[in-house]
Amino acid sequence: MASQKHRDFVAEPMGDKPVTELAGIGRVLGERLNEHGFDQAYVVLGQFLLLRKDEENFTRWLKDTTPANKEQARDCYTCLRDWCQAFL
């Protein structure tokens, strides 16, 4: 079942949303992503697309970069996957 944060994100175009609007990404993980240059949700989407929307590769990248736990990485992956299905 998708969280409210997930549903809100997938419900509209991405625009310039901060990275913390992605499901699974809170303040701490958002700061860690910012430190690596991923300050906007669309920048994380770019990485998601570069990794060919592959769940294993994306969740591994997110865990290595932030380090997110398995659930946070899966929530972020699912959020971006569902957004892509709705808008791409």
Spell out the domains of the chain, with CATH numbers in brackets: 4-83 (1.10.150.40)
pTM for this model (two decimals): 0.95
For 2-57, the pLDDT digits (tens) are 899 999 999 999 999 999 999 999 999 999 999 999 999 999 999 999 999 999 99
Residue 1 has pLDDT above 90, yes or no: no
For the chain, helix, strand, coil in percent to 5 are 65, 0, 30
For 66-80, the pLDDT digits (tens) are 999 999 999 999 999
The predicted structure's pLDDT at residue 2: 81
The predicted structure's pLDDT at residue 32: 97
DSSP state, residue 12: S
